[in-house]
Amino acid sequence: MDSYASEPNALIEHLFQDIHPKTLSIDSRKKLGIADTSYVYGEFSPESIVELMQEFKRDEHHVFYDLGSGVGKIVFTAALFFTFDKIVGIEYLDLLHEAATQVLNRTKSVSSDVNRALNRVEFVNADLLKYDFSEADIVLVNAVCFPTSLMEKLVRKLDDLKPGSLVITLAQALPSKDFEVKFSKLYAASWGKTMAFVQERVS
């Protein structure tokens, strides 16, 4: 894996080469009877999250949460390229969660260094609006398909975060004066370029 050290996209695609997230997402939604478009699958590029996090360099001694983590590609990127104390992916769709856990378990055996990095990772099969992630210092949310009603519910949940916490949302900013946009920038994603908003909890 050392040959991928400076290539986040290549490394993550190597780890997930036999995983088909879109198919798993469709199958899981059919299984659970979900027609809500907010569950449509899309991925933020691993290179994009590396570039974005380097903007504020706030990984050491911090906790990172990916809300709606899919098969866990961003969680793996955060664990293998940064020094967060804890990295958690929350995913409601069970087949995506199971795939993330499968890749985690098999990747830990690659080397002792990789095992050490991934021991900081946890995948949770849960509804992000019902799970307690108030310990998070940095939260990522892919909000591309989120309707206004869901964004408002998300803001109420994010109110549990401590002041100074950062929330990264894709495609749309949080509709709340309690979160100040520190910067925004276009990044690569599976559906094309998307705007990422980095917001700080100010009160």
CATH code where residue 135 lies: 3.40.50.150
81: nearest Cα among 98, 96, 64, 103? 64
- Residues 118-159 have pLDDT tens digits of 999 999 999 999 999 999 999 999 999 999 999 999 999 999
Bridge partners for 44 per DSSP? 189
Amino acid found at 167 = V
What is this structure's pTM? 0.93
Type and span of the H or E element at 49:
helix 46-56
Place of tokens 């095992």: 115
Q: Which domain holds residue 148?
A: 2-201
Of 169 and 11, the structure prediction assigns the larger pLDDT to 169
